[in-house]
Amino acid sequence: MVSQMPESANARVPSAAHPLAKPMGAWLALTMGDACGIGPEIIAKWWGQGERALVIGCPQVMRRAVAWLPAGRALVEVVALDDWRDALKLTGGQMGVWAPPGLPPDLLEAPLGQVDRRAGQAAAACIRAAVRLAQLGEVGAIVTAPLHKEALALAGEPYPGHTELLQAEGALPGQPPAPVRMMLANRQLRTVLVTIHVSLRQAIEQVTFDSVLETLRITHRSAALWGQPKPRIAVAGLNPHAGEGGLFGSEEVEVIAPAIRAAQAEGIDASGPWAPDTVFMRARHAPPDHVGEFDVVVAMYHDQGLIPVKYMGLDEGVNVTLGLPFVRTSPDHGTAFDLAGTGRADEGSFGEAAAMARLLLAGRLAQA
């Protein structure tokens, strides 16, 4: 099989054309994720709703995942594509899988449920290929199945996760990577993180005036894509009770509050810093019984923002990378090695991620 990439793909030059000007410009690119985890299976289970979607991954791995589908499910035929554009020729029961450059030839031998260098190498290759297609307007959005950060490191990748890899790969030629932020969202709550995959000690050091203000700007700009051009943004404090006026820490007084005031001066509807132990409940939106006070919460560090969203259930959670020049979403769970190969993985969060990608893509196209 000869995998083809556009001649300009390696140049990282995004297309200036409207995405819908290309035959697959409104399609989703689905990256396979870690081959040793549940990524291939949740894609296979979701595929019945997968019109206008291209899988970027290993056809043999995807065939194995399709074989795990429970009895009674509609049959899915995995079709290996020499050229991703051939997905346009397929019919409803066929899954087009394009193997990008860089896939290990022995990927199928990587043991299920274990960290393996080959799986990390393949996951990175799929992401890079998806980014190239998105940059060129060949696909409209990317939905990534989970990868394993340790496998990524074993493959020699210098990035701690999806967000950082996508940020680096999405950079324009000759320019530094654009600032991006992670948003975790479900039907009840949206939260955006100031800091992501660093130790808690490093995260505290990275909560600066500039990082908080940049997060507020990115959140404000991005909200228009999901239909909220003037979002009400609540900002969580870093310390217990948001510092109690400096009694429990000075970050709120010296860093966070000044950043909020600067954002307000730019017309951003931001407020706080609010006590982090209650602000997420105040923002929770569950009509008709409970309507949230805020549309989104800006959290200072990874677990502060992710625990409230994940506590509400993993089957609805979506990870969105804000600030990229293309749409990218992902389920909010990991590789679930304990479920790999059992046929028991739940595709709910992946389905929500695909739906969110469609929503954000429609918003981006409306702005174009």
On the question of pLDDT at 80 being above 80, the answer is yes
What pLDDT is recorded for position 2?
38
Average pLDDT estimate for 283-289: 84
**What is the amino acid identity at position 343?**
G
On the question of pLDDT at 5 being above 60, the answer is no
Q: Rounded distance, CA 296 to CA 321, Å? A: 15
On the question of pLDDT at 274 being above 50, the answer is yes
On the question of pLDDT at 3 being above 70, the answer is no
What pLDDT is recorded for position 4?
52
What pLDDT is recorded for position 160?
86
- pLDDT tens by residue, 153-212: 999 999 988 888 999 998 888 888 889 999 999 989 999 999 988 999 999 999 999 999
In the structure encoding, which two tokens stand for residue 127, read together?
């992401």
Q: Rounded distance, CA 261 to CA 353, Å? A: 33
Complete domains list, the chain, with CATH: 1-174+324-368 (3.40.718.10), 187-312 (3.40.718.10)
On the question of pLDDT at 18 being above 70, the answer is no
On the question of pLDDT at 49 being above 90, the answer is no
The set of residues, in sequence order, having a beta carbon less than 8 Å from that of 306 and lying 6+ positions away, is 184, 191, 193, 332
Where does the pLDDT of residue 367 fall: very low under 50, low under 70, confident under 90, or very high at 90 and above? confident
Where does the pLDDT of residue 10 fall: very low under 50, low under 70, confident under 90, or very high at 90 and above? very low
**What is the amino acid identity at position 54?**
L
Residue 274, helix vs strand vs coil: strand
Average pLDDT of every residue of the chain = 90
Express as a percent the part of the chain with pLDDT over 70. 93
On the question of pLDDT at 138 being above 70, the answer is yes
- Give the pairing of strands 28-31 and 318-322: unpaired
Q: Rounded distance, CA 48 to CA 329, Å? A: 19
Average pLDDT estimate for 134-140: 93
- Give the pairing of strands 190-193 and 181-185: antiparallel
Average pLDDT estimate for 272-276: 97
What pLDDT is recorded for position 314?
66
What pLDDT is recorded for position 20?
62
- pLDDT tens by residue, 226-268: 999 999 999 999 999 998 888 899 999 999 999 999 999 999 9
Angle CA 362–313–288, to nearest 5? 70
